[in-house]
Amino acid sequence: MQLYNDANHLIDRVSHLQTSHPAWTGADDIVKRLRSLADHVFESQLAIQRDGLMESLNEAEGFTAISEDVGLNKAEKAIGGVVHSLDTLSRVLKVSQ
């Protein structure tokens, strides 16, 4: 997510410079490219995180065998992994509660 944050920071800085130097004609193109980069990086990170969460949930094997000790342990481990991942993501993304 650092690259996403950096790209957004650069967008702000380029926009500010464009206001200060109106003769600079290339700023709009730079902002457009940076915004495209930020969007791409953000979407890629979301896909990676989603895949990780789905992998954790798949370890529970559909929660079908939770009446047995082995199935219950797998389900608890999967849910614990998802909770841990979501907690970590909330800190990284600075989601307020």
Give the domain ranges of the chain. 2-92
Higher pLDDT, 45 or 37: 37
For residues 9-21, give the mean pLDDT: 94
Per the prediction, the chain carries an average pLDDT of 87
Question: pTM to 2 decimals?
Answer: 0.69
| Residues 71, 64 contacting (CB under 8 angstroms) | yes
Q: DSSP for 44-78?
A: HHHHHHHHHHHHHHHTTGGGTTTTSHHHHHHHHHH
List % helix, strand, coil for the chain (3-state, nearest 5).
80, 0, 20
